[in-house]
């Protein structure tokens, strides 16, 4: 999903305080030759928005508007997460706080493995997908945000593999590549990941 076109400013506020996500965005902007300075909202003393939407799209827009309002600048936000159909879409929009505390990757991964135990009886792989929705607003009340999405399909492992990435990367198995997301080099991951797909769509709009 994507709409409208946009002339990118020289500076863009990134509505995130997640170190892993910030690093991925900075690398993606560099790889896509986007001559824009990314300013993480924390550098402007902007705290995280209250994510009370019911979808990735709603939460991405909420975060982008929040950062734009408090900074007075255009802002881009990403709402992303892991969707496991057999768990009715969980962790979904609650991926970052699935185990309760926001941003505790180890606890979130442990809870996911625990919740999937009843479904491990068969030899069928447990399908999953990473979802990323980007929302860019020119100002806080922008009536036509730019929305781009990416979906990355895979499976859930029974135990973690790999040292790269963050979040659920160590549990996300890519059968075609015979590795987990956390075993991919950053540049390779950015070419095929949900966030990389969404960013490429965003790049094509400029």
Check whether 48 is labelled as a binding-site residue.
no
Check whether 168 is labelled as a binding-site residue.
yes
Check whether 79 is labelled as a binding-site residue.
yes
Question: Do residues 108 and 99 make contact, with C-beta atoms less than 8 angstroms apart?
Answer: yes
For residue 191, what are its two tokens? 């070419």
Check whether 191 is labelled as a binding-site residue.
no
Question: What is the rounded distance in angstroms from the CA atom of residue 55 to the CA atom of residue 100?
Answer: 19
| Distance spanning both ends of the chain, measured CA to CA | 15
Check whether 154 is labelled as a binding-site residue.
no
- Residue 168 has phi, psi (to 5 degrees) of -90, 10
Check whether 95 is labelled as a binding-site residue.
no
User: DSSP character for 91?
Assistant: B
Axis-axis angle for helices 194-205, 19-31 (nearest 10): 50
C-alpha distances out from residue 172 to 7, 83, 128, Å: 35, 11, 8
Active-site choice (78, 79, 105, 142): 79
Q: Is 78 a catalytic residue?
A: no
* Residue whose pair of structure tokens reads 């400029």 in the numeric block: 206
Check whether 21 is labelled as a binding-site residue.
yes
Strand-strand pairing, 75-83 and 172-174: unpaired
Check whether 194 is labelled as a binding-site residue.
yes
Check whether 165 is labelled as a binding-site residue.
no
Check whether 20 is labelled as a binding-site residue.
yes
Check whether 104 is labelled as a binding-site residue.
no
Question: Do residues 49 and 23 make contact, with C-beta atoms less than 8 angstroms apart?
Answer: no
Check whether 169 is labelled as a binding-site residue.
yes
Looking at the chain, how many residues does it have? 206
- Enumerate the H helices of 38-96 as residue ranges: 56-71
User: Could you tell me which residues are annotated as the binding site?
Assistant: 16-21, 79-80, 166-169, 189, 194-195
- Catalytic annotation, residues: 79
- Residues at the binding site for substrate are 16-21, 80, 166-169, 189, 194-195
Residue numbers belonging to the annotated binding site for Mg(2+): 79
């Amino acid at each position: 999903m994507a709409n409208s076109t946009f002339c990118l400013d020289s500076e863009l506020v990134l509505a995130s305080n997640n170190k892993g996500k910030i690093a991925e965005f900075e690398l993606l902007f560099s790889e896509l030759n986007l001559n824009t300075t990314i300013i993480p909202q924390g550098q402007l003393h902007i705290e995280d928005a209250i994510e009370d939407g019911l979808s990735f799209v709603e939460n991405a827009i909420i975060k982008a508007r929040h950062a734009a309002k408090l900074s007075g600048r255009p802002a881009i936000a990403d709402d992303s997460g892991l969707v496991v159909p057999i768990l009715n879409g969980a962790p979904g929009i609650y991926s970052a706080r699935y185990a309760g505390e926001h941003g505790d990757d180890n606890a979130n991964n442990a809870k996911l493995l625990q919740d999937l135990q009843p479904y491990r009886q068969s030899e069928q792989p447990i399908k999953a997908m990473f979802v990323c929705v980007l929302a860019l607003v020119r100002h806080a009340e922008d009536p036509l945000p730019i929305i781009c999405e990416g979906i990355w399909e895979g499976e859930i492992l029974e135990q973690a593999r790999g040292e790269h990435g963050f979040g659920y990367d160590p549990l996300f198995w890519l059968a075609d590549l015979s590795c987990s997301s956390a075993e991919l080099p950053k540049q390779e991951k950015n070419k095929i990941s949900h966030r990389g797909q969404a960013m490429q769509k965003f790049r094509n709009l400029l």
